[in-house]
Chain A
Amino acid sequence: MSNITNQSLSEILKSIKSKKISSLELTQEYIKNIENAKKLNAFVTTTFDKALENAKKFDNKPNNEQLLSGIPLAVKDLFCTENVKTTAGSNILNNFVPSYESTVTKNLWNNGAFLLGKLNCDEFAMGSSNETSFFGNVINPIGDHLVPGGSSGGSSSALAADLTPATIGTDTGGSIRQPASFTGTVGLKPTYGLCSRWGIVAFASSLDQAGPMTKTVNDCSIMLEAMSGFDDKDSTSINKKKESYSKNLKDNIKGLKIGIPKEYRVDNMPKEIDELWEKGKKILKDLGAQLIDISLPHTKYALPTYYIVAPAEASSNLARYDGVRYGYRSQKGKDLIEMYENTRSEGFGDEVKRRILIGTYVLSSGYYDAYYLKAQKVRQLIKKDFDDSFTKVDAILTPSTPSSAFKIGEKTNDPVSMYLNDIFTVPVNLAGLPALSLPAGLDKQGYPLGLQLIGKALDEQKILNIGYAFEKNCGYKNEIKKWWS
């Protein structure tokens, strides 16, 4: 029982449902772990009292028919949680307590889970290392000098360190998949519109998508099933029948066609990433899948396109943080303009300011056509590349990131090199497609590396199936020494 938190969500669920462990005991185990892992700085807020109360409530009247019966969950602090402080990793929301619950978290609670705490993240989800958070950087359980990835770095760290049985993040340009890859965990960015954006602090509306981060592919399918679904409060939500991803999970991928895009073999890519990719191809081939070389010719424009579209939307989305109605307000300034200036200067960190500036610039009159409009056109071409490929293949296999977890502070003074970390993940967001990052191996230093499976829109089941088969045959196992406790 003492190592129940080592186990996967689906194993824990079995123990709960068979009454091998109570929800209260389980919750107490996680609380113990969290209290011993303060060094990781994964949590911004903990809600232990409420969690214990909810666990007792469950134990008194267990409903074992639910997807997440009696499961305590910590979630990224970008999801608004009713009466629980929601900061988005920013000083400007340092004191913000929503009166409402995001649709995605509400879906989780409706499926039997309850809140354990709020997880650190890059400020407004802008970052690839969780170093831009107002609440300090998060440490990767893999090593005390390593970043956990970002922006869902608190989520990946907490998951890998057994501080939550599963978690959710948001992915605008790779913010679920890259931290999953850096921590040897599974992360899925669903099709744009599959999970409601209502109640999630917005970064870039046309790219943001919530998704699960888990230890196994099966866990991932359970979480996806619980959190997704049509929401009439989100105009971009897709109205379709809910799928039973976990029940339909199959490991037979014989005959499936897997596309290998040549454009993902980038210059200066470490040899071990290439080797990992080769290993992935071999596993899938051995399982009966057919490998097909494909081309996604506009891939090289994805990153610059992303760094126009995302900041443009962000500059507008973040305009509401003005100190007038909620959140941080500077006491300095003699008039409205100065109040705005001081509030936003003191409330936002450097990376957020950088992106607001870029976004404001690319939307400005005289630059709009050259930047924003052109980026939108390129975005269509990137989407079309994928559409064309998916007439020939069922899924696409690529590395998740061009490197393993880097050192804390290594890239903080070089934003462009930081941005380059998202080179394999951003095209997927621009195209609105689902993509799964799977732990696939270790580099020379013993740090985890991930592979990415990209699917057609709404083809989550297929990439989960491929991932499931891959996972069984890959032999990857996260072995993390709990050096922090």
Chain B
Amino acid sequence: MSKEKFDYFINGEKGKYEVVIGLEVHAQVLSNSKLFSGSSTKFGADPNKQVSLIDSAFPGMLPVINEECVKQAVRTGLGLNAKINNYSVFDRKNYFYADLPQGYQISQYKNPIVGEGKILLDMPYGSKEIGIERLHLEQDAGKSIHDMDPSSTYVDLNRSGIALMEIVSKPHLRSPDEVNAYIKKLRTIMRYLGTCDGNMQEGSLRADVNVSVRKLGDKNFGTRCEIKNVNSIKFMQMAIEYEANRQVELLEDGKEIDQETRLFDTKKNETRSMRSKEDAHDYRYFPDPDLLPLKLEQKLIDDLKKSLPELPDNKKERLIQEYGLNSYEANVLVSEKEISDYYEEVAKLSDKKLAATWMIGDLFAMLNDKGLNISNSPISAKNFAELVQSIKSGEISGRIAKEVFEIMVESGDNPKKIIESKGMKQQSDPKELEKMINEILSKNKDKVDQYKAGKEKLFGFFVGQVMKLSGGKANPQLTNEILKKLLKG
């Protein structure tokens, strides 16, 4: 792999600009019930069917922390190599909105549950560490539906009170590609941990994107704008691109950038001002008196740490060290939880290196062609492993294997059955092969003479003849050996 040089800059007339990006990712915690109530968190229920008296803020209702959500936040913090805070506090963030029943969101302000951590990105130009500033727990709001009626807004509170982790990065990202890699890596880590399903379509992962620009070489950050609530990586990248260029244009024109909150219009592909710094909400944060400070025993943290599953960075290392994969293969195979799970299942039953080659090659190409992903692959991991083993054992050749693979894709059948029923088994009996080769040599005496006279190129011709006669089933390695031996004689 060639190492490309990092080169995401915006060229203005007055020089090159560097883009500085920080992300606030809102990741929905995987848990059966909400952060402070027993309501279900299942996606897709009818409106207002998963709402308790607490979620809808009836008089006298009180929040009680869901311990599983706390554990999930700690697991995520541990997965981000972050400091877990034994003491954290829930605060109220006060503002009025129709889908915020309490009139405040319970969040963590000054004392978050998780402190500084880091994420390692594999970029074409080498690995890059992105700092995590903090992770805190907070409640999600409900949903306002404005397009169901011309004169009213409808409110669905199913989401109200669901636990979110807000994961704030340091301003270490420098390009849309790095943002892409960061979100994917963060998502992968959380999926490995089982703390967030990372489903961006369902809104389980959303981000506020902070963008600023500065002249290349400048030490100080420029004024940043925050783009609110972007829910796909593609839109994040488009929004950053647009926003960075907008800011550079302003600077080039000698204008100032206003610190403000902006919205990304996905239809027009532009960001628009939502509110300026002057109009910013005063959230009047203060510790929620209904909840005691959250005190975590070190033992709980230690136990959670011990029970953490293997994470992508460690798994990659293991695949290289123990499975003999190269760094590229290992990277691809750990990049997503499902891919890694599939590979592990295949590798358990077959040759690890050969399995990696076939997965990254033929399997991925096929999935890509068909617009599928690994979880709905027409070939099961077990069947795929059998195919790999058939190649490894010499039962079929690589060429035949490709045919078997095609049939497996179409039929979903077991490779053994296909090989058996179609008689595709490789001819590996030396005696049979010798007989076949002798027959070919005796039919082509002139070519044998030419070969012996030094025209060694003809070797390929003989191989071709063997394959033709055997219907492609002759074991190529054995064929080579026997041919060489007989031609010498």
Contacts and interface: CB of A to CB of B under 8 A. Distances in A.
Given A232-B64, A324-B101, A98 B290 contact: no
Contact of B60 (A197, A204, A232): A197
Contacts of B286: 312, 316, 363, 368, 372
A206 interface: yes
Contact of A86 (B59, B94, B104, B291): B59
A205 B96 contact: no
A93 interface: yes
Contacts of A325: 56-58, 101
B53 interface: yes
Contacts of B282: 364-365
Contact of A202 (B60, B94, B101, B104): B60
Nearest to B92: A316
A122 interface: no
A320 B101 contact: yes
Tell me whether chain B's interface is mostly helix, strand or loop, or mixed.
loop
Interface centre among B60, B64, B153 (most CB of A within 10 A): B60
Contacts of B288: 205
A199 B282 CA distance: 29
A198 to B, nearest CB: 5
Given A100-B53, A316-B284, A324-B98, A235 B59 contact: no
B59 A316 contact: no
Given A98-B59, A100-B53, A316-B104, A322 B284 contact: no
Contacts of B63: 235
Contacts of B92: 316
B284 A365 contact: yes
B60 A102 contact: yes
Contact of A320 (B59, B153, B289): B59
A198 B62 contact: yes
B102 A320 contact: yes
B62 A234 contact: yes
Given A316-B104, A320-B102, A236 B292 contact: yes
Interface residues of A, number: 42
Interface centre among A206, A235, A326 (most CB of B within 10 A): A235
Contacts of B58: 80, 98, 100, 325-326
Contact of A80 (B57, B60, B289): B60
Nearest to A363: B284
Interface in A334-380: 336, 340, 360, 363-365, 368, 372
Contacts of A472: none
A360 B284 contact: yes
B59 A233 contact: no
Given A98-B59, A202-B60, A363 B94 contact: yes
Contact of A319 (B53, B60, B102, B290): B102
A250 B298 CA distance: 45
Contacts of A315: 94, 284
B257 to A, nearest CB: 23
Given A360-B284, A372-B286, A336 B64 contact: no
B304 interface: no
A235 B291 contact: yes
Given A322-B96, A322-B103, A313 B60 contact: no
Contacts of A80: 58-60
A235 B53 contact: no
Contacts of A318: 103
Interface in B273-298: 282, 284-286, 288-292
Contact of B284 (A98, A202, A364): A364
B96 A200 contact: no
A81 to B, nearest CB: 11
A44 B57 CA distance: 24
B155 interface: yes
Interface in B52-87: 53, 56-65
A205 B290 contact: yes
Interface string A58-102: 000000000000000000000010000010100001001011101
Contacts of B292: 235-236
A201 interface: yes
A400 to B, nearest CB: 26
Nearest to A365: B282
A199 B92 CA distance: 20
Interface string A295-330: 000000000000000001101101110101110000
Interface in A215-244: 232-236
Contacts of A199: 60-61
Interface centre among A319, A360, A363 (most CB of B within 10 A): A319
Given A324-B101, A364-B284, A96 B59 contact: yes
Nearest to A372: B286
Interface centre among B63, B98, B155 (most CB of A within 10 A): B98
Interface in A97-129: 98-100, 102
A322 B65 CA distance: 25
Contacts of B102: 319-320
A378 B155 CA distance: 42
A294 B282 CA distance: 43
Nearest to A92: B59
A364 B281 CA distance: 10
Interface string B250-279: 000000000000000000000000000000
Given A205-B290, A322-B96, A200 B101 contact: no
A206 B101 contact: no
A233 B64 contact: yes
B103 A320 contact: yes
Interface in B87-109: 92, 94, 96, 98, 101-104
A235 B103 contact: no
A360 B94 CA distance: 10
Contacts of A204: 289
Nearest to B102: A320
Nearest to B60: A199
A202 B155 CA distance: 24
A3 B4 CA distance: 97
Contact of B59 (A93, A206, A234, A360): A93
Contacts of B57: 320, 325
Contacts of A96: 59
Interface centre among B94, B103, B292 (most CB of A within 10 A): B103
B290 A236 contact: yes
Interface centre among B62, B65, B288 (most CB of A within 10 A): B62
Contacts of B101: 320, 324-325
Given A100-B53, A197-B60, A336-B153, A205 B284 contact: no
Interface string A131-145: 000000000000000
A372 B61 CA distance: 24
A255 to B, nearest CB: 36
A300 to B, nearest CB: 24
Contacts of B289: 204-206, 236, 313
A198 B60 CA distance: 6
Contacts of A102: 60
Nearest to A236: B292
Given A235-B291, A312-B286, A320-B57, 12 more contacts: A80-B60, A102-B60, A199-B60, A201-B59, A236-B289, A316-B94, A320-B101, A324-B155, A325-B57, A325-B58, A326-B58, A363-B94
The 7 A-B pairs with the shortest beta carbon distances in the complex, nearest first, are A319-B103, A206-B289, A205-B289, A363-B284, A199-B60, A320-B57, A201-B59
10 contacts: A88-B59, A197-B62, A198-B60, A199-B61, A206-B289, A233-B62, A235-B290, A316-B103, A320-B101, A322-B98
